[in-house]
Amino acid sequence: MGDSTPAKGKTFDSVEKAELSSSKKPLSSGKKLTPLKTDDLSADSKMPAKKSPKSSSSKSSSPPAGRKKSGKPTYLEMTQNAIVALKDRSGSSNIAIGKWVLANNEHCKSVPPNMFKSRLNQAIKAGVKEGRFAKVKNSYKISSEWNKKQKAASRAKDASRKKAEKARTAELEKSKQKKKEQSDEEERKRKEKDMVSVIIDLCT
């Protein structure tokens, strides 16, 4: 009885060691597991995010009335030119404005009639909204208040330009005076030096 107990303990220890050693063995599949490279992770992290597609509906088919293309007046400017040129005291109608614009702006002749009419109406509405045009029944005139503001702005611009020119002229005069003073000072020093040399010559 006393001999059988330690034998059982030995067999238990041997079984436990066998299980531990088997758990440390490599996989029986025979294939080596390749470790994940950090370059792969960095490459994935550097991939640009997909941009959400922008809807084409955000772009309007016709440009706003106030937008100016290169070398071409805007519809707002052409409308104003038409009203000024027509010189109608009671105001100019949409039809009269449209005819004048077409007759005096070659690039408008290639625009489809419906699009031209739409752009012209937008320009007239924009001019009325900003106070440039005054609506008289179904006609439009240049607003007297807008004319006053434009004249005041032009006077202020001219005054600012004249002030800048005056300041620039004063700066030039100041620079000339400074150069003249420097030249006079150099001439005085030269004369003093010549006089000293003459006195030295006389003393020797």
List, for residues 82-130, the tens digit of each pLDDT value. 999 999 888 999 999 999 999 999 999 999 999 999 999 999 999 999 9
> What pLDDT is stored for residue 4 in this prediction?
47
> What pLDDT is stored for residue 67 in this prediction?
53
Q: Which residues contact 73 (CB under 8 A, 6 or more apart)?
A: 81, 105
pLDDT tens-digit series, residues 105-114: 999 999 999 9
Q: CB–CB of 94/116 below 8 Å?
A: no
Q: CB–CB of 131/121 below 8 Å?
A: no
Bigger pLDDT: 157 vs 46: 157
